[in-house]
Amino acid sequence: MECLTISNLCKTYIINKRQNNVLRNINLTIQSGEMVAVMGPSGSGKTTLLYTVSGMDEATAGKVDFFGKELTKLSANEMSDLRLQEMGFVFQQMYMLKNLSVYDNIILPAYQVAKGNKKQSREQIKERAKMLMQKLGISEVSDNAVTEVSGGQLQRACICRSLINQPKIIFADEPTGALNKQNSIDVMNELTRINEEGTSILLVTHDMKVASKCERILYIEDGDIRDEISLGKCHVGDNLPARERKLNDWLIKLGW
């Protein structure tokens, strides 16, 4: 089933009367349960692509369908509801509300969704948050302030938050960019496990090790998808060096 269908997507910025075409006629389809990485040099349009297809930024032209819903036709409020309920976000910096504890930050989006929604009680949300924190190994820091935990723990908390509303897709922008090696491995293992459970993931990365865990890798340059490679589904414990080598060869060919 198609999760995300992008057709002729363009994004143009006009800065000082100069037109800058960041995305040029992007066509892309992401299947439900797929884990896709977007790579490319700095300024190639990776992050813009992520922001535009997730509805955080408006497309200049083109169409984005999310499970049959045309995002470009949704109002700002409808788009916000969709992001809150059906999409999850993980960023390079661990953006959280610093006045709230780790636990409160995680449950915040779910409480907002639960407003007037009888299906999900606050007790159920708390149970789910606890379960997610346990899975990601941050239960012991749940009551800490966001300034009192490590970067890795915080990024895992961000992943918990992105999962709290059981999204259909997670958008991750350099999710390991601010983490050390071990924390990066841990975070990617978690994302892989989440993907195994059926959640689609579209992530942007510079890191080959991160990208090698994805099923498909797109290479974007000057706002256009220049090429893509399929590495097949990755499972926790798979032979990663082989996937990394294949990816490396492909990237070298592209002039990475």
Closer CB to another protein, 116 or 237, in the complex: 116
Contacts of 156 (CB under 8 A, 6+ apart): 136, 137, 138, 186, 187, 190
Closer CB to another protein, 39 or 107, in the complex: 107
Query: In which residue are the tokens 């999850």 written?
Result: 88
Closer CB to another protein, 83 or 213, in the complex: 83
Closer CB to another protein, 68 or 116, in the complex: 116
Give the span between the Cα atoms of 62 and 193, in whole angstroms: 33
The distance of closest approach from Cβ of residue 59 to another protein in the complex, given in angstroms and rounded to an integer, is 14
User: Are the C-beta atoms of 35 and 189 separated by less than 8 Å?
Assistant: no
Closer CB to another protein, 16 or 99, in the complex: 99
The distance of closest approach from Cβ of residue 11 to another protein in the complex, given in angstroms and rounded to an integer, is 13
Closer CB to another protein, 167 or 251, in the complex: 167
| Residue type (1 letter), 210 | V
The distance of closest approach from Cβ of residue 240 to another protein in the complex, given in angstroms and rounded to an integer, is 30
The distance of closest approach from Cβ of residue 109 to another protein in the complex, given in angstroms and rounded to an integer, is 6
Give the span between the Cα atoms of 213 and 208, in whole angstroms: 9
The distance of closest approach from Cβ of residue 77 to another protein in the complex, given in angstroms and rounded to an integer, is 5
- Whole-angstrom CA distances from 237 to 185, 189, 194 are 12, 9, 14
The distance of closest approach from Cβ of residue 227 to another protein in the complex, given in angstroms and rounded to an integer, is 28
The distance of closest approach from Cβ of residue 245 to another protein in the complex, given in angstroms and rounded to an integer, is 35
- Chain residues binding another protein by CB under 8 A are 51, 56-57, 76-77, 80-85, 87, 89, 91, 93, 95-101, 103-104, 107-109, 111-112, 115, 122, 126, 129, 143, 145, 147-148, 161-162
Give the span between the Cα atoms of 55 and 126, in whole angstroms: 28
Closer CB to another protein, 57 or 228, in the complex: 57
